[in-house]
Amino acid sequence: MTINNRFTEPAQTVCASVRVVKEDRTQDVGACALIREHFMEIAINEKPAFRVMCTPNSLAELVLGRLVTKGLIRERGDVESVYICETGAVAKVYLRKDLELLQGDGGLFTEPTCCTQNQDLGSFRAAKTPIVLPRAAYLEEHIFTLAEKFHENASLHRQTGGTHGCYLSYRGTYQGVFEDIGRHNALDKAVGYALLNGFSFQDCILFTTGRVPVDMVEKAVMAGIPVLASKSVPTADAVELAKRCNLTLICRAWRDSYEAYWEAK
């Protein structure tokens, strides 16, 4: 797999002036850092695939992670090349095997996929249904380490308060945090990083800062990652899906405690 990333990441934040109004009606002028939004369209073998609104960093990881969590690729060898243009507005992925695109009566359709205005431009026949995962091999200390990292890292969130983060652990070793305005994108970036570095997904743990509905569980399952943790809460449907797919789902994970909603057997 070759990566031709011609995009130079810009400053991730801009400074804005704000008028601060207090309860006692006194006012002051201050400044704050705001996160940038970035638009990118992704094509697979020259076929429009996704539109994403994201934070302008780790774009190659985001592209590859999105293909993994959609069930379109499983390993590095599935990808021939990735090209990202100078502006970062266009990404082209070339797979070694072509994917047949399902088209509706009106051609390509759009489908909102999360709160950041991401869209699917079509469905591919190669997309897989969620699998049943093997038993997860992890230690309690791995979860507490990731929860601790939540308090130490995520520089963009410290500056702006406007990003989600997804923390990645591989075989018990912390690998880093991936930030984005959307929790789905942040998870995809972590998955894409694991793919680029040749990590076995079965040996990975993901820790997300966002809530865990069904679509977040689906992403972890489609990637084949057996442990998903969060500082937030799951939905009832997410827990049911985790049970069906044998995903270890851990939520309300903090430095001193966590809640296991389902543990793979």
Query: Quick one: pLDDT band at residue 44, thresholds 50, 70, 90?
Result: very high
Q: What is the largest CA-CA distance in the chain?
A: 65
- d(C-alpha 150, C-alpha 209), whole Å: 8
Multiple choice CATH, 140-262, 3.40.50.300, 3.10.20.30, 3.40.50.1820, 3.40.140.10: 3.40.140.10
pLDDT value, residue 205: 97
In sequence order, the β-bridge partners of residue 167 are 177, 207
Average pLDDT (74-94) is 97
Average pLDDT (11-38) is 94
pLDDT in tens, 157-168: 888 988 999 999
- Domain limits, the chain: 140-262
Average pLDDT (36-50) is 94
- d(C-alpha 257, C-alpha 122), whole Å: 41
State percent of the chain over pLDDT 70. Answer: 91
| Whole-number average pLDDT of the chain | 90
Average pLDDT (143-153) is 90
205 SS3 class: strand
Phi and psi angles of residue 196, each rounded to the nearest 5 degrees, phi first:
-60, -30
Average pLDDT (140-152) is 92
pLDDT value, residue 125: 66
- d(C-alpha 63, C-alpha 41), whole Å: 10
- d(C-alpha 106, C-alpha 84), whole Å: 29
Q: 168: buried, middle or exposed (CB in 10 Å: 19+, 13-18, 0-12)?
A: buried
Average pLDDT (97-120) is 59
* Token pair for 31: 């400044």
pLDDT value, residue 105: 40
* Token pair for 65: 């992670």
pLDDT in tens, 117-132: 677 766 676 666 778 8
pLDDT value, residue 112: 47
